[in-house]
Chain A
């Protein structure tokens, strides 16, 4: 059929097709831990044969380097990930890690690029900011307001996230002025603005932390300068987490000014600093799981002249105590 012995050539060619398998399978290279050195790690990620492993390598690289303050390296790791989901996760991890170095601007810069995870990133990053020995005093209300405004500007691409970022920064920075200070002087928390409310959250938490025996009347007596405030050693680094405030929307409180709390929940803000401190004090008793919370709520049930903000706080805490 095939002249010139071409069938022999054909068999030879067919025999030489590349799809033939060798008799012994090649082993899979054993798994290795990612190196710690950022240069070595970058090279290791680039050398990965399988794209999925390169992704997880780079995410790990971004988190590790951001936690060390090596922000340019973290940027490079995330920039090398094309997959949209994992690029956003990379910025999420870098944002969380950057917060551990107390670099709020860097953390928010990453959260702004975390896409679908921006809100999670902000919550994790802002509440993870450590308390430093050089924490600004309450006179730094302006600085706190500026930091919140800067966060809003960085997050401007998504207006909803930008507003949330602003409030989170205000709440978290304001809270740690007095929470962990060892010196919860109520005179430092009488500003009527929203940053003042954040300071009152911290004031109430610090009072309860330093003096767990305080009940609501005791806390109010300190606010009213009828009793000396307790003092203790300041906390540096991570603040005690306490009880997480659940992010449960409260229908009756819709439209009222509110402030984010650690864990994702909110507390109502009252315009009157004294009313607002009582709200903060009740929330602090809840946070500390104080035995004094239930009596405070029970006694208040009979009261008819409570401010709306206090009444709504009672209702919320009764549901979650």
Chain B
């Protein structure tokens, strides 16, 4: 049997509720749910939400999602990162980058078409 609760002691159930409330929720399903900061978390979140459309080649969904990102720099960053992660789609991704320096970096991927070819045996 538990003894009487001492003054100031937080009940176990309350701690459980607090932990549940502060545990990260399921990953965001929409770009609007991505955190505003820190910048790394926001950009990672956006990247993960864009990636399935790139992987499946669903260009209209990709463009729709890109249209929901208000900052050009953020869009360009996501496109460049996606091109490096999925070089077989680099041409498509690089052509959507607006800022010249990011576009040039992306060309380092798109200009190397062998990167998108599969390894022997794959």
**A residues engaging B (CB < 8 A)?**
2, 4, 6, 9-10, 13-14, 17-19, 21-33, 49-50, 52-53, 55-56, 59-60, 85-86, 89, 115-117, 120
Contact = CB atoms under 8 A, between A and B. Distances in A.
Nearest to A12: B18
A62 to B, nearest CB: 12
Contacts, number: 97
5 closest A-B pairs by CB: A25-B36, A28-B73, A52-B84, A31-B101, A26-B39
B48 to A, nearest CB: 13
B64 interface: no
Contact of B120 (A29, A50, A116, A120): A116
Given A2-B14, A14-B22, 7 more contacts: A19-B22, A19-B24, A25-B37, A28-B74, A50-B81, A52-B81, A59-B108
A14 B99 CA distance: 41
Given A50-B81, A52-B80, A21 B36 contact: yes
Contacts of A115: 119
A31 B114 CA distance: 26
A30 B36 contact: no
Interface in B1-49: 7-8, 10-11, 14, 17-18, 21-22, 24-25, 35-40, 42-43
Contacts of B115: 85, 89
Contacts of B36: 21-26
B37 A21 contact: yes
A27 B39 contact: yes
A14 B16 CA distance: 12
Contact of A50 (B10, B24, B40, B108): B40
A86 B85 CA distance: 10
A105 to B, nearest CB: 24
Contacts of A6: 10-11, 14
Contacts of B17: 10
A60 B39 contact: no
A56 B117 CA distance: 18
A40 B36 CA distance: 31
19 contacts: A2-B11, A10-B14, A10-B17, A13-B18, A13-B21, A17-B22, A19-B25, A19-B35, A22-B36, A27-B71, A30-B99, A31-B76, A33-B104, A52-B81, A52-B85, A53-B80, A53-B81, A89-B112, A89-B115
